[in-house]
Amino acid sequence: MANRSNECFPSFVPLDLEFSLGLRVIDNFSDHISFNIHNKEKDDKSCVHQLDKMVLEPFLSSSIAIITFDVSIKNNVATSIIHMRIYNKPITKPIHHIVHITSTEAELFAIRCDINQAMNFNNISKIIIVTNSIHVARKIFNPLVHPYQVQSAAILSDLCNFFNHHENNSIEFWECSSCLKWHLHNEVDKETKTFNLTPLYPCKTSWDFSKKRKSNDILKVWKMIF
């Protein structure tokens, strides 16, 4: 399944509720969120073994979704491919194309798609996201104003709904460096880098023009705010 998007993201939304003290996901659901960071002091085999051990539980439970994704940017077009498995079976493999955004924005967009995909299944109680960009995932829970606040707020809103759906629901972020070549992440990494996109608008000028009005509207909003 392939999705093509051409969006301009505003980089700042003042006084967003998701970042208000007392309403933040990190304040109310901190025990539902965990990060597993790649230990650089360990050798690659130990890290791969830890990842293999981690997937044993998802492969034996239909209530756990394990998701791997990667992002590649070529000629200003970001391609993200997501693999989701439940009970040791491939469930979905959405492909998204977005133009003129940074790799961080593309990765945040992919994380939100990960969460949305998992939430489409009513019985999912744990979401495990494996990524080589764990530093981007951490930005989601940064309460300070930053250039990716809009994307973070959207993800936090989805997570809040997921955690409120059941008190035992949780999400885990696992770091997996591409150099480890761990089988699940290596598969999606190769697909992302070798995927050849046929753009809807072959001419770069057409890409730029297609969202110029949206970009101008965002600038007008900024002028009103500031």
Q: pLDDT for 73-127, tens place per residue?
A: 887 788 889 999 998 788 878 888 887 788 899 999 999 999 998 998 888 999 9
Cα 114 to chain center, whole Å? 6
Q: Of the ranges 41-45, 50-54, 155-159, which one carries the lowest mean pLDDT score?
A: 41-45
Partners of 73 in the β-ladder: 78
CATH code of domain 2-225:
3.30.420.10
Amino acid at 73: I
CA 209 → CA 47, 76, 101, 134, 149, distances in Å? 46, 15, 15, 34, 25
| Domain parsing of the chain, residue ranges | 2-225
Q: Where do we find the tokens 């930053």? A: 146
Short-list 147, 133, 166, 119, CA closest to 35: 133
pTM for the full model?
A: 0.77
Short-list 166, 190, 168, CA closest to 178: 190
> What is the per-residue pLDDT across 47-73, written as a single tens digit (0 to 9) for each?
999 999 888 876 678 899 999 999 988
Q: State the CB neighbour count (10 A cutoff) for residue 150.
A: 15
